[in-house]
Amino acid sequence: MTTKAYDLIVIGAGPGGYVAAIRAAQLGMSVACIDANADLGGTCLRVGCIPSKVMLESSERYHETRTGLAEHGVIVSDVTLDLDAMHRRRETVVKTLAGGVAMLFKQNKVTRIEGWGRLEGPNRVVVKTAEGEQTLQTQRVLIATGSVPAAIPSVPVNHDRLCTSDDALSFPAVPDHLVVIGAGYIGLEMGSVWARLGSHVTVLEALENILPGMDLELAKAAQKLFERQGMKFQLGARVQQASQSGERCQVQCETGQPIDCDRVLLAVGRVANTDKIGLESVGLTADRRGELPVNERFETPAAGVYAIGDCIRGPKLAHKASHEAVACVEQMAGGQGHVNYDAIPGVCYTHPELAMVGRTEEQLQQDGVEYRKAKFPFQASGRARSLGDTSGMVKVLADAQTDRILGVHILGPRAGDLIAEAVAAIEFGASAEDLAHVCHAHPTLAESLGEAAMGIAGHAIHMANAKKS
């Protein structure tokens, strides 16, 4: 057993952990980052955000080649799918980016330790590695262990044909019929991948609408578009049992007939991965979702122990974790790190994409906030017309008294990129008028955001029935 000392030990090398380690090192701290996986980057890079977007992009290109190029005058015949090549590309992208994180660790002199880290009393971390255990001393510990797929008793996941999103990235063949349990971001994204590649996809959702927490108007519009793409939805469908027999699966909801399928994907959210990391040794107790309590400085009740990302309350998003990571270590170093939780965007990378920041209409109504809204359809966008992708809209919500932007919701092409301007607007307290006065290049999709902002005052130019003044 060896003992080493650091200013900061980070447990977890995902988008929260590795960003925290690098920023702390930049600020002059001696830092060690512990992760049990050979590849750095955490769930996000290895089996989450990045590989899923690779599969979404590749599957969309395949689908467009088969069904969407003819209107552009591009005639392609005998299009075939090489799923193995698609998987190889996914693996290459992941390996390249994981190697990039390792290179950044070296450049910033972050000590990388491969093994399972656990707290062992104040200021001590024990790491179980392939070579044995080592004990580390530290002034501070940052818990950034991320999250794991949530489980439900009625679906006994076996990582064969009863799967989680981790497994759904690498199916060896396109399922004939895939049942997805959960209509959130993960379920819809992975369902979209396999639907484009040829699967019959049935989505079961216990609630009465898809994409819980997203603007209801846009969620309902998105569902209609997904249905046109061939995905089937059963809402208010609580799964009573799922089972596997040989190469077939069966799913039974509380009502209706059993559904026979090839594979079942359980995608009902994620829970914090804080089990078995020695919380009890410092007097910490996680809640039922594994989340830890922290103050505005990301300090837990245990002295010298901090937590960020999926390990604390809030949406389980990689960029939230990274943002909190920087704020946390800058405050450790005496700086003024800050996270504005009203300006954390969310994106669902289906086609079309959905993106949001700020509050929804439903939240404003529930809180009794007076607001004005305006929408601009992509059908009126010259750029969307040239892309041949006119589904969806931009919706802007603004305070009825101050005109300050309260929320922006986008369903349409490249919504995940467009939302960045809205995030900046909310971060800096912009009004709808401020956003309307921004000069947007023409022709771009971003003009639609400007038009929607102009619509708050009834002055949208490229939309019929706009007010005159």
> CA 76, CA 78: separation in Å to the nearest integer?
7
SS3 call for 152: coil
CATH number for region 3-149+271-339: 3.50.50.60
- What is the third-level CATH fold of 162-268? FAD/NAD(P)-binding domain (3.50.50)
> CA 247, CA 249: separation in Å to the nearest integer?
7
Helix (H) or strand (E) holding 6: strand 3-11
> CA 186, CA 184: separation in Å to the nearest integer?
6
Residue 37 CB-density burial (10 A; 0-12 exposed, 13-18 middle, 19+ buried): middle
Q: Which of 409, 442, 459, 462 is an active site residue?
A: 442
> CA 137, CA 324: separation in Å to the nearest integer?
24
pLDDT score recorded for residue 4: 83
Pairing of strands 200-205, 371-377: unpaired
pLDDT score recorded for residue 469: 40
Residue 167 tokens read as 């497994």
CATH number for region 343-455: 3.30.390.30
Residue with tokens 């996986």: 37
> CA 178, CA 193: separation in Å to the nearest integer?
11
Conformational region of residue 300, where left means phi above 0, alpha means psi within -120 to 50, and beta covers everything else? beta
> CA 95, CA 40: separation in Å to the nearest integer?
9
Q: How far, CA to CA in Å, does 459 sit from each of 101, 238, 426, 464, 467?
A: 47, 46, 21, 10, 6
What b-and-e string marks burial along 438-459, b requiring 16 or more CB atoms within 10 Å of the CB?
eebeeebbbbbbbbbbbbbbeb
Closest to 52 (Cα-Cα) out of 148, 194, 205, 147 = 194
pLDDT digits (tens), the chain, 469 positions? 557 899 999 999 999 999 999 999 999 999 999 999 999 999 999 999 999 999 999 999 999 999 999 999 999 999 999 999 999 999 999 999 999 999 999 999 999 999 999 999 999 999 999 999 999 999 999 999 999 999 999 999 999 999 999 999 999 999 999 999 999 999 999 999 999 999 999 999 999 999 999 999 999 999 999 999 999 999 999 999 999 999 999 999 999 999 999 999 999 999 999 999 999 999 999 999 999 999 999 999 999 999 999 999 999 999 999 999 999 999 999 999 999 999 999 999 999 999 999 999 999 999 999 999 999 999 999 999 999 999 999 999 999 999 999 999 999 999 999 999 999 999 999 999 999 999 999 999 999 999 999 999 999 999 876 654 4
> CA 253, CA 241: separation in Å to the nearest integer?
7
> CA 272, CA 339: separation in Å to the nearest integer?
20
Q: How far, CA to CA in Å, does 449 sit from each of 138, 417, 434?
A: 48, 12, 12
Residue type at 415 in one-letter notation: A
> CA 79, CA 94: separation in Å to the nearest integer?
26
Query: Where do runs of H (alpha helix) occur along 342-414?
Result: 361-366, 382-387
pTM recorded for the entire structure: 0.96
> CA 56, CA 62: separation in Å to the nearest integer?
10
Q: Which residues are registered as beta bridge partners of 376? A: 394
Please check whether residue 449 is in contact with residue 417, taking contact to mean a CB–CB distance below 8 angstroms: no
> CA 32, CA 46: separation in Å to the nearest integer?
21
Give residue limits of the domains in the chain.
3-149+271-339, 162-268, 343-455
Residue 74 tokens read as 């591009």
Q: How far, CA to CA in Å, does 342 sit from each of 20, 128, 402?
A: 22, 39, 17
Q: Would 3-149+271-339 and 162-268 be classified into the same CATH topology?
A: yes
* Other CB atoms within 10 A of residue 131 CB: 9
51 CB-near residues (< 8 Å, 6+ apart): 90, 93, 94, 169
442 is catalytic: yes
